[in-house]
Protein backbone atom coordinates (compact mmCIF):
# COMPACT_ATOMS: atom_id res chain seq x y z
CA UNK A 1 0.00 0.00 0.00
CA UNK A 2 1.29 3.45 -0.88
CA UNK A 3 1.77 5.96 1.90
CA UNK A 4 -1.10 8.46 2.03
CA UNK A 5 1.34 11.31 2.79
CA UNK A 6 3.41 13.10 0.15
CA UNK A 7 5.56 16.17 0.72
CA UNK A 8 6.53 18.23 -2.33
CA UNK A 9 9.80 20.00 -1.59
CA UNK A 10 12.67 22.08 -2.91
CA UNK A 11 16.25 22.14 -1.65
CA UNK A 12 17.18 24.82 0.89
CA UNK A 13 13.53 25.33 1.90
CA UNK A 14 13.23 25.82 5.68
CA UNK A 15 9.51 25.02 5.78
CA UNK A 16 10.05 21.90 3.65
CA UNK A 17 12.62 20.73 6.18
CA UNK A 18 10.27 21.59 9.07
CA UNK A 19 7.38 19.57 7.59
CA UNK A 20 9.63 16.55 6.98
CA UNK A 21 11.15 16.77 10.47
CA UNK A 22 7.71 17.05 12.07
CA UNK A 23 6.34 14.02 10.23
CA UNK A 24 9.47 12.00 11.04
CA UNK A 25 9.25 12.92 14.74
CA UNK A 26 5.60 11.79 14.76
CA UNK A 27 6.56 8.48 13.13
CA UNK A 28 4.58 9.25 9.97
CA UNK A 29 5.88 7.62 6.79
CA UNK A 30 5.84 9.92 3.78
CA UNK A 31 6.99 10.14 0.21
CA UNK A 32 9.15 13.15 -0.67
CA UNK A 33 9.07 14.60 -4.17
CA UNK A 34 11.67 17.25 -5.01
CA UNK A 35 9.94 19.44 -7.58
CA UNK A 36 13.26 20.88 -8.79
CA UNK A 37 14.31 17.41 -9.95
CA UNK A 38 11.10 16.35 -11.66
CA UNK A 39 8.83 18.32 -13.97
CA UNK A 40 6.21 15.61 -13.44
CA UNK A 41 6.33 16.17 -9.66
CA UNK A 42 6.03 19.94 -10.17
CA UNK A 43 2.98 19.52 -12.40
CA UNK A 44 1.49 17.01 -9.95
CA UNK A 45 1.99 19.47 -7.08
CA UNK A 46 0.44 22.29 -9.09
CA UNK A 47 -2.50 20.08 -10.02
CA UNK A 48 -3.37 19.14 -6.44
CA UNK A 49 -2.72 22.52 -4.84
CA UNK A 50 -2.98 25.17 -7.52
CA UNK A 51 0.38 26.60 -6.48
CA UNK A 52 3.96 26.30 -7.72
CA UNK A 53 5.73 26.93 -4.42
CA UNK A 54 6.87 24.34 -1.89
CA UNK A 55 6.19 22.90 0.54
CA UNK A 56 2.92 21.28 -0.38
CA UNK A 57 1.80 18.45 1.89
CA UNK A 58 -0.73 15.99 0.51
CA UNK A 59 -2.49 13.76 3.02
CA UNK A 60 -5.10 11.49 1.53
CA UNK A 61 -7.30 13.66 -0.67
CA UNK A 62 -6.28 16.93 0.99
CA UNK A 63 -3.38 19.23 0.13
CA UNK A 64 -1.93 22.07 2.18
CA UNK A 65 0.60 24.75 1.29
CA UNK A 66 2.34 27.62 3.01
CA UNK A 67 4.89 27.89 5.77
CA UNK A 68 5.00 25.08 8.31
CA UNK A 69 3.24 27.04 11.10
CA UNK A 70 0.33 27.61 8.70
CA UNK A 71 0.23 23.96 7.60
CA UNK A 72 0.71 22.29 10.98
CA UNK A 73 -2.89 22.42 12.29
CA UNK A 74 -4.19 21.19 8.93
CA UNK A 75 -1.60 18.40 8.83
CA UNK A 76 -2.58 17.29 12.34
CA UNK A 77 -6.29 17.31 11.51
CA UNK A 78 -5.79 15.33 8.28
CA UNK A 79 -3.54 12.78 10.01
CA UNK A 80 -6.11 12.32 12.79
CA UNK A 81 -8.88 11.88 10.22
CA UNK A 82 -6.90 8.99 8.67
CA UNK A 83 -6.08 7.53 12.08
CA UNK A 84 -2.37 8.20 11.64
CA UNK A 85 -2.00 10.53 14.63
What's the pTM? 0.93
Q: How far is CA 61 from CA 57, 68, 81, in A?
A: 11, 19, 11
Q: What is the dihedral of CA 25, 44, 79, 61, to 10 degrees?
A: -170
DSSP code, position 4: S
Low-confidence ranges of the chain (pLDDT < 70): 1-2
Q: Is 35 helix (H, G, I), strand (E, B) or coil?
A: coil
pLDDT at 85: 84
The CATH code of the domain that includes 14 is 3.40.30.10
| Number of domains making up the chain | 1
Q: Which residues is 56 bridged to in the sheet?
A: 8, 65
Residue 41, CA atoms < 13 Å, CB-side half-sphere: 19
Range of the domain at 27: 5-81
Q: What is the DSSP string of 46-62?
A: HHHHS--SS-EEEETTE
Amino acid sequence: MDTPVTVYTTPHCPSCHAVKTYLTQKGIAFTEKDVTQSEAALQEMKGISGVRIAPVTQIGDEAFYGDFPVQRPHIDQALKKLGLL
